[in-house]
Amino acid sequence: MKIAIDEARTGITAGHGGPFGCVIVRDGKVVGRGHNEVIKQNDPTCHGEVTAIRDACKNLGTYDLSGCELYTTAEPCPMCRGAIMWSNIRKVYFGCNIADTDSIGFRDKVFYESPEDISEELDRKECLEVFEEYRAINDKKSY
């Protein structure tokens, strides 16, 4: 966690974004690290956890971070929780909680309490055709 805190401090000092740092560890070794770079990259997805996941995947040459643990200075938002699940990380340690994050002006809390209904089904039939093409490609691979 100390390394995650150092990452967060590096990020705010450089003006990269919020005070969010993250480290990913496998077998006791740091395999990825990062901090919030939303402002630096002009990218709302550059949260500390996502930045660290990208770093770990690049360093390990894989999209599968099974067996890794993640340390983050703040409880992951829904986007990062999703990225953590997709990367197969199954243990997360966080420092500050959602209420702490809310108290310094970040809006994660609203995503948990009243997510906006912004999705609507459109052109399902055409999209399903691509799904079928994918299935056909992968069915051939299994032989």
Contact residues toward Zn ion (CB under 5 A) are 47, 77, 79-80
Q: Are β-strands 91-96 and 68-74 bridged in parallel, bridged antiparallel, or unpaired?
A: parallel
Instruction: Retrieve residue 22's tokens.
Output: 């993250």
Smallest distance, Zn ion to C-beta of residue 50, A: 7
| Closer by beta carbon to Zn ion, 22 or else 31 | 22
CA dist 122 and 110 (Å) reads 27
Given the residues 49, 129, 132, 133, select the one marked as catalytic.
49
| Closer by beta carbon to Zn ion, 31 or else 52 | 52
SS3 state at 36:
coil
Active site includes 120? no
Smallest distance, Zn ion to C-beta of residue 14, A: 19
Smallest distance, Zn ion to C-beta of residue 60, A: 21
CA dist 46 and 7 (Å) reads 14
Residue 29 belongs to what H/E stretch?
strand 29-35
| Closer by beta carbon to Zn ion, 104 or else 127 | 104
Residues with a known catalytic role: 49
